[in-house]
Amino acid sequence: MRDDGGADCTKFVDTGSNTIPRSKFGNIMHSDPNMSSTVNDEDFSIRNSSASAVTPGFFDPNRLSCEGSPMTMSPWNNTSPFTKSPWANFEENIPQNGLIGSLVREEGHIYSLAAKKDLLYTGSDSKNIRVWKNLKEFSGFKSSSGLVKAIIISGEKIFTGHQDGKIRVWKVSPKNLSVHKRSGTLPTLKDIFKSSIKPSNYVQVRNHRSALWIKHSDAVSCLSFNEDQTLLYSASWDRTFKVWRISDSKCLESISAHDDAVNSVVATTEGMVFTGSADGTVKVWKREQPGKTTKHNMVQTLLKQECAVTALAVNTSGSVLYCGSSDGVVNYWEREKQLSHGGVLKGHKLAVLCLAAAGNLVFSGSADKTICVWRRDGNIHTCLSVLTGHTGPVKCLAVEEDREQSKPGDQRWVVYSGSLDKSVKVWSVSELAPDVNQVAMMQQQQHYAMQPDRGDPATSEDSSRAGRMF
């Protein structure tokens, strides 16, 4: 399984009584839009594993392990990337953790997102990359081939990873910020030509074929920058990750990292790089720079399990690594002097397909069509909300600080979620929101407070029983 289903968590949508104005985004959605999905729940069936090959002492060997059948790819769609489609707007106020708006376009499944300041980039299997500003369509550009599986931004450059194994580079025009022009491809045509002359530059890939080591021979699944954004890391279904120097677009290194597709790569502080694969492992790599070259050595295998590793994320400080899997579980490791397993987050019924971390929050998107919002307090993670509304698997997430609504002691975030229901939803999330158990208790208390006082002993007994539910 490449990157395609969880765990038990009583699901509540936090609709809280505290509301905040959202003048920037206009009005807010109350009900879910009528959207169709081409992916069925049956595509992500869960099965009990006969054995669980996990690192001893780290994990429960009796937990569920599952795999989903490959997601059905929709046919190419030739819709123009410039057709207008406004964001749907709803009510004036929204709860602390609530929906701001939704973009629905019958163009293609949303596979990738990237947010920077007031711009949102979306990639789909229509080959189009769209640019949104303040939740309105701003511009768009189209790649020649390959659905857009990854988007990452550095300064005025946008890097996109594609199903066809290529990384395309785009540049924003300084004269017109809505114009994006392709400035190159990784590897460059010049480097391909130079490398192709030497037989030693060819390596064996699948089906007994040979290919240049500087080229990915299968889909590019993920992109990540190092800390100072001088290096770009690309993960691929060809079982490798590659290291690119941004300044001259050179491929510095190609590492045969796993025994199956590499679904995620994350570079963090101090030259540390993490990779997660469909082979069920998470590996740690350390970058060394002897002289002018760059070399990555594997220093640790954090996880070894039957089910696929589908997503990785590191918190802002680089102190916690999160790993999502096809069994719906999120494992995390805490780093002090070394990485040690901190526990698991169980909030999904199907595969975790994407992760994002911001501030003290972690977001997990799943094939069960929901997004869990987790808050980290020291070593404890609490599920604040389960965001519902998508009618298809949640494939990608992006998070930006909400500068307008954030206040001292109350950090707020704008969360973008892309789904295989062909929509992008935008959420407002507060770090101070009550967790799902608190919300449920408040709802129960409010319900019983509204009941007439009949002096019936059964009323008191029912109330006590309701409290024990949580």
| CATH number of the domain within which 324 lies | 2.130.10.10
Structure tokens at 392: 């298809």
Please state whether the peptide bond connecting residue 187 to the residue before it is cis, i.e. omega within 30 degrees of 0.
yes
Q: Which has the closest alpha carbon to 116: 405, 419, 418, 399? A: 399
Assess whether pLDDT exceeds 70 at residue 18: no
Gap between the Cα atoms of 393 and 434, Å rounded:
26
- 365 domain residue, yes or no: yes
Residues 6+ apart with CB under 8 A from 346: 6, 7, 8, 9, 328, 329, 330
Tell me the mean pLDDT in the region 99-124.
89
CB 433 within 8 A of CB 98: no
What is the reported pLDDT for 441? 60
Q: Sorting pLDDT into bands at 50, 70 and 90, what band is 1?
A: low
- Residue 323's H or E segment, with its range, is strand 320-325
**What pLDDT is recorded for position 374?**
97
Q: Give the model's confidence band at 75: pLDDT under 50 very low, under 70 low, under 90 confident, else very high.
A: very low
| pLDDT the model gives residue 404 | 79
Do residues 385 and 433 make contact, with C-beta atoms less than 8 angstroms apart? yes
pLDDT score recorded for residue 409:
72
- The tokens of 453 are what? 């006082």
Domain range for 433 is 98-448
Q: What are the start-end ranges of the E strands in 50-135?
A: 65-66, 93-94, 98-104, 110-116, 119-124, 128-133
pLDDT value at 32 more than 60 = no
pLDDT confidence of residue 63: 32
Instruction: Provide the number of structural domains found in the chain.
Output: 1
Greatest mean pLDDT among 107-111, 204-208, 403-407, 450-454: 107-111
- Per-residue pLDDT tens for 230-281? 999 999 999 999 999 999 999 999 999 999 999 999 999 999 999 999 999 9
* Averaged pLDDT for residues 3-12: 42
Q: Is 187 exposed, middle or buried (0-12, 13-18, 19+ CB in 10 A)?
A: buried
User: Which position has the token pair 């969360």?
Assistant: 415
Here the tokens at position 160 are: 């996109």
83 within a domain of the structure (yes/no): no
Mean pLDDT of 368-376: 97
User: Is cis: bond before 95, omega within 30 of 0?
Assistant: no
Please give the residue that has the higher pLDDT: either 84 or 119. 119
Q: What is the pLDDT of residues 148-196, one digit of tens each?
A: 999 999 988 999 999 999 999 999 988 888 899 999 999 999 999 999 9
pLDDT exceeds 70 at position 47? no
Instruction: Please indicate, yes or no, if residue 84 is contained in any of the structural domains.
Output: no
**Of 124, 189, 113, 183, which Cα lies nearest the Cα of 152?**
113
- Out of 126-140, 359-373, 453-467, which region has the weakest mean confidence (pLDDT)? 453-467
Mean pLDDT for all residues in the chain: 78
Closest CA to 104 of 420, 371, 353, 428: 420
pLDDT of amino acid 57 = 32
Q: What is the pLDDT of residue 6?
A: 38
Domain presence at residue 34: no
In this prediction the pTM is: 0.76
Phi, psi of 271 (to 5 degrees): 70, 20
Query: In percent, how much of the chain has pLDDT > 90?
Result: 56
- For residue 136, pLDDT beyond 80: yes
What average pLDDT score do residues 39-56 get? 33
When pLDDT is cut at 50, 70 and 90, the band that residue 465 belongs to is very low
Amino acid at 91: E
Q: What pLDDT digit, counting tens, does each position of 426-456 carry? A: 999 998 877 766 655 655 555 555 565 544 4
367 band by pLDDT with thresholds 50, 70 and 90 = very high
> Would you state the pLDDT for residue 433?
75
Mean pLDDT of 214-230: 96
Longest dimension (CA), the chain: 91
| Burial track 45-57 (b if 16+ CB lie within 10 A, e otherwise) | ebeebeebebeee
The residue that leads in pLDDT, 352 or 378, is 352
374 HSE (CA, 13 A, CB side): 26
Which amino acid is it at 141? F
Q: Does residue 351 carry a pLDDT above 60?
A: yes
Other beta carbons within 10 angstroms of residue 123's beta carbon come to 26
* Dist CA 169 CA 165 (whole Å): 13
Altogether, the residues listed in the chain come to a count of 470
3-state helix, strand, coil in the chain (%, to 5): 10, 45, 45
Predicted pLDDT of residue 157? 94
Domain-embedded: residue 123: yes
Task: Give residue 102's pLDDT.
Answer: 87
**Residue 113, CA distances (Å) to 132, 150, 411 in order:** 11, 7, 22
Residue 48 lies in a domain: no
